[in-house]
Chain A
Amino acid sequence: MRFWCFGLSAVSAAAALVAPAAAQAQAREPQLVVAVPPMPTPKNVDTEGGQTGVLGIQIAQLIASDLRSSGAIVAIDPDKLRRYTPTEAAAPIYPNWANSGAGALVQGYVQARDDGRITVACYLYDLKTRREMTRAGFAVGAEDWRRAAHRCADAFHKAITGLPGHFDSRITYVAETGSRSAPVKRLAIVNWDGTHHNFLTQGEGTVITPRLSPDGQRIVYVSFTGGMPHVRIMDLDGENDRALLAGPPAMSFAPVFSPDGRRIAFSMANEGNTDIYIVGAGGGFPQRLTTAPGIDTAPTFSPDGRSIAFESDRGGSQQIYVMNTDGSGQRRISFTGGGHGSPAWSPKGDLIAFSRWNGSTLSIGVIAPDGSGERMVTNGWQDERPSWAPDGEFLVFDRTQQGSGIPWPYTVRLDGAEPKRLAIPQPGSDPDWSGVLQ
């Protein structure tokens, strides 16, 4: 924090867009400095979430903390800024902020409602042009004030970068307990900041590789119940759990939703040959997309739904290929030494993340869909299965510790900052980050 303050005071006289020296090496995009002063309340009222006056400070702190985790934004801490009145929230007095060093200003207010809930209103102003950039308002249960803060931060992130933020998004993963050779695996879901943790299955059968639907309402996963790994689909509340494919048992795995949520791509193995298929999310007869002898698996859709990236060992080693969604135009895009696996197409469409064998380590990297610009993002002993945040700026992945073999989901910013452990109560694997809460 001290460092930011020093850096900001040094450049405060400069224009709205600054690039502090520390981040300059990593982030090429200019960063926007946003002032987030504490939010006022018209009347300090006791609610189930605390006093509204205190909530105003906490919400401002959470918005600043959310925005700060984005590489494109520098947030000034509420403690360092002057206070304002609720009536100013919708009509800022621009001269008062001229010397703050910020290019943009967050204002708003917290107000208790008669029904016990609270109203949180938030506004983002461009201090240079003196215009409103966006506004958002939410009526939430007082104890859910965090969600209101996250959704304000999402709205601001979208106004600043053009992409939805991930501050109100969820991560589904496989919670792992028991011994390594006979683990108990349960599907779990958690908000990206570690709050609202829930188990979706109770460990009665081994489950792996969950994926959320784009609307965040359904989940596809692989279950070993019945002795054969097969793809299943269920609602997030645990209802309507069923096998995706009807008919005789076949080994199916690696499912993923299409961006419109209406189709599911997956792999099916038969007689030592694994190929990629596509089927409607309601089931039906799957269409086969690959025919190469060898293992074709881990499909991932481009955000426009027209292409699928996947991994194949048809050329001798595991590499990443791209094809059209009807199976035509298959071409290899990764060529550097070692194997490439578990591709994940970014929601921006510009990059495909992967895990790559490099000597005796497996690490996460990114490559353009045309095969150019390959670079590494992490350097763990075993980092695999990257999955993108909705903003295309962060990845979550599965990191296994050498020796103990304990897996844990980590998040990392694309510029290669140090990965952070996801705040969950026990080890976990196969994280999937998608579905902004509706």
Chain B
Amino acid sequence: MKRMIAFLLFAVAAPVLAQPLPPPGPPGYPALQGPVLAIPVLQADLKAKAGTDTIRFSRDSYVLTPQSLATLTAQAQWLIQHPFVRASIEGHADGRQTRDYALALGERRAAAVRNYLIASGVPPQQLDIVSWGKERPTTAAAHDATWLQNSRVVTVLKQPPQPIYPTIPQPFPPPPPPEE
């Protein structure tokens, strides 16, 4: 029975614990501690832990609602626990904004989200910011009710351009042999 429970626990925990081994680093470096799961898996994990990867806004607004703040706090905790994953904070505006203003508004919304994540302890260099303006609506339909669906900021995880290796202290050189 105990063995069965242990096996069950292992079966449940294995997908989370048994992360694939990181690629071998340069010789002499310890193995990487960070997660190297595929980005879609990490994105799903972020969604599960934080509730959502999307923050919504009302028309023309870049104000974070109390509900958004709770979501972002959870997102910040996740990002702090995964320091080797970069996140692109992507701002969007609705198609009914004029094009230039939509770009600026998307940036303003993304900046509001990024600032809150930084204030919650996420290192700034872990977060990129980009605005898509109204170039990537979530829905193909165009009518007044699309405001809420398209006015959004999405936290999109991405692989860092190259693995981040910690600097390890080099051992002191051996003392010179005593002179005779």
Contacts and interface: CB of A to CB of B under 8 A. Distances in A.
Interface stretch (A37-45, A78-86, A134-142, A180-188): A180-188
A425 to B, nearest CB: 21
Given A206-B135, A251-B131, A405-B142, A355 B103 contact: no
Interface in B115-140: 115, 128, 130-133, 135-140
Contact of B111 (A182, A267, A271, A405): A271
B88 interface: yes
B140 A295 contact: no
Nearest to B97: A341
Given A181-B138, A272-B62, A272-B112, A297 B101 contact: yes
B101 A227 contact: no
B133 A272 contact: no
A258 interface: no
Contacts of A269: 103-104, 107-108, 131
Q: Secondary structure at chain A's binding surface: helix, strand, loop or mixed?
A: strand
Contacts of A311: 98, 100-101
Given A360-B144, A402-B143, A229 B104 contact: no
Given A385-B98, A400-B142, A181 B103 contact: no
Interface string A253-283: 1100000000000010101111000000000
A209 interface: yes
Nearest to A341: B98
A341 B95 contact: no
Given A181-B139, A295-B108, A228 B130 contact: yes
A388 B135 CA distance: 24
A271 B91 CA distance: 12
B141 interface: yes
A181 B136 contact: yes
A229 B131 contact: yes
Nearest to B88: A227
B76 interface: no
A355 B101 CA distance: 12
B100 A253 contact: yes
B100 A254 contact: yes
B61 to A, nearest CB: 11
Interface residues of B, number: 32
Contacts of A405: 95, 137, 140-142
A334 interface: no
A94 interface: no
A384 B101 CA distance: 12
Interface string B132-169: 11011111111110000000000000000000000000
Contacts of A385: 98-99
Interface in B58-93: 60, 62, 88
Interface in A220-269: 222, 224, 227-229, 251, 253-254, 267, 269
Given A274-B108, A295-B108, A382 B96 contact: yes
Contact of A355 (B88, B98, B143): B98
Contacts of B142: 180, 382, 400-405
A342 interface: yes
A100 interface: no
Contacts of B105: 295
Interface string A334-367: 0000000110000000000001000010100000
A274 B99 CA distance: 14
Given A269-B103, A272-B115, 17 more contacts: A179-B140, A209-B100, A251-B130, A251-B131, A271-B115, A272-B111, A274-B104, A313-B101, A341-B98, A341-B100, A342-B99, A342-B101, A362-B98, A384-B98, A403-B143, A405-B142, A430-B99
Interface of B: 60, 62, 88, 95-96, 98-101, 103-105, 107-108, 111-112, 115, 128, 130-133, 135-144
23 contacts: A180-B139, A181-B137, A182-B136, A227-B130, A229-B133, A253-B133, A254-B100, A254-B103, A269-B107, A271-B115, A274-B108, A295-B104, A311-B98, A313-B60, A341-B101, A342-B98, A342-B101, A382-B142, A402-B142, A404-B142, A405-B137, A405-B141, A405-B142
